[in-house]
Chains A and B, each alone.
Chain A
């Protein structure tokens, strides 16, 4: 092989070493293993990337570094005993995980939820959405090289929300809050007023954040027309959540299923036009503004009353034989739980439908033809948490 372009390649050829074939640009293809220990992969995720110069010609995601067989553990545990495990799926959004699991069990056993508990669920879920989206944007900017500032702004807001979660559930991240037919504890005195203050100050943070970012030239150059997903591909690949809506598909499970009491809230569903990384950023900003509206209304309307269905006995809980699939709109997409009961106290089959994993289906298609630095940005805009991807 005489076409080597670098002295090192000539040396390798002299020693009879096998060289990888040349790409279209004439340069040897380079295989890079990004991850599992790479700061931009948001955890232990690996991508085997083949590069032609700077251009990505192949990308294969590699999963399983955080695999602990969550589903198998759940099949040996009681229904209630699984609730704390769901916190550890997507550990940024433990409260929505709780809700999705509780919803699936409530479908399976036909349990009613009291009014006040429904409102508490909406309030905690929307606070979770605010926290998740703010963090995601912070991390996305960090991945893009905006070192520190936006992430710290996001963390400042997250800290306020985590303080509220701690006051309500006793834990900042691992909340273990929802129960079948209600919630574990009622809000402490003055808690709702504190949430009200936080919600009232949040639009100010968003304005500040947007003033820094939305019209930023570097942000636009790095994200517009990068990682485009068309409408048809997004639907066919089962993308959900902000990923799907950035491609212009009007599908929000809060609207479609109206689970809980969501059909009482007249919020809007923001949609993207281009399906690129910029739209995925923008959708999250707009969704936060809608969440603020939902929170304001919920705080105004929340009634007094019980927070737990008195007929449900969670400690000796044995649903009848049958199966159920329950899903909610988690901040990352459609989080579903599929349960099969054989009439005993442990689920016969327990399945988590992880939005983080399924949103990665199109990762290769999104990255092909882009520069290697764009992979980091595209992956950042997908919004994955490895606790949920690998389970």
Chain B
């Protein structure tokens, strides 16, 4: 498989040369398959994608898999030794320090080349937050294959893809308000209950039976 032969550092350098001023960050994958990825800023995403699709020697014409990942805000507690004045004497005291890493949503693209038969190259876009700024650039104008998959991410994760031609919910119904694939999603406890015409008819039937019993029939 030529996937491993493709050096992600060289791809990164090529993109940086072709798209001036673009912000790229490499994320190493500690797994044995070593599918490392590149995080691209939303403002450069379309230009980078277009370059990857057309550049000689890269030709990532096939955007196979598009998906979302939710990384909630993390709170890490660390014990730190601090020197303090206690009763006028300098002593070492242990203090707990809390640090909160802000969370974000991620859109992950797995790119392959049908022409040169290599891949995957993993491209990632990250949102600023979960509610405010949950936006990334849509790559549907570059790869049509992202259309339904980006709609699915919008539906299940709540990532807004700017520039998407038809951004609607895909799997959940339009009136649904939450995003079920988020880590903090809570299932409704009454999802089995569906108010239907049936319930109203049953109520009337019970009333009817009660009235009949009262009349002694």
Contact = CB atoms under 8 A, between A and B. Distances in A.
Interface of A: 63-64, 67, 69, 71-72, 107-110, 233, 235-240, 249, 251, 256-258, 319-325, 327, 334, 336, 338, 340-341, 349, 351, 353, 357-358, 360-362, 390-391
Interface stretch (B16-24, B27-35, B85-93, B208-216): B27-35
B65 A325 contact: yes
Q: SS class of chain B's interface: helix, strand, loop or mixed?
A: loop
A376 to B, nearest CB: 21
Given A67-B171, A69-B181, A351 B65 contact: yes
14 contacts: A67-B172, A110-B31, A236-B144, A236-B145, A238-B145, A251-B114, A322-B30, A323-B35, A336-B110, A338-B67, A338-B108, A340-B69, A357-B149, A361-B145
B147 interface: yes
B195 to A, nearest CB: 20
Contacts, number: 111
B148 A358 contact: yes
Given A64-B173, A69-B181, A71-B181, A338 B110 contact: yes
Given A322-B31, A358-B145, 15 more contacts: A64-B170, A72-B180, A108-B32, A109-B31, A110-B32, A233-B144, A235-B61, A236-B145, A237-B145, A251-B62, A320-B30, A322-B30, A323-B29, A349-B69, A361-B147
A327 B33 CA distance: 13
B144 A238 contact: yes
A64 B65 contact: no
Interface residues of B, number: 36
Contacts of B149: 357-358
A341 B171 contact: no
A238 B63 CA distance: 6
List of 7 A-B pairs having minimum Cβ-Cβ separation, nearest first? A238-B145, A322-B31, A110-B32, A64-B171, A353-B65, A67-B171, A237-B144
A353 to B, nearest CB: 4
Interface of B: 1, 29-33, 35, 61-65, 67, 69, 108, 110, 114, 117, 120, 122, 143-149, 156, 169-173, 180-181, 185
Nearest to B31: A322
Nearest to B37: A323
A336 B64 CA distance: 9
Nearest to B110: A325
Nearest to A353: B65
A360 to B, nearest CB: 7
A116 B9 CA distance: 38
Q: Which one of A233, A238, A258 has the highest number of Cβ atoms from chain B below 10 Å of its Cβ?
A: A238
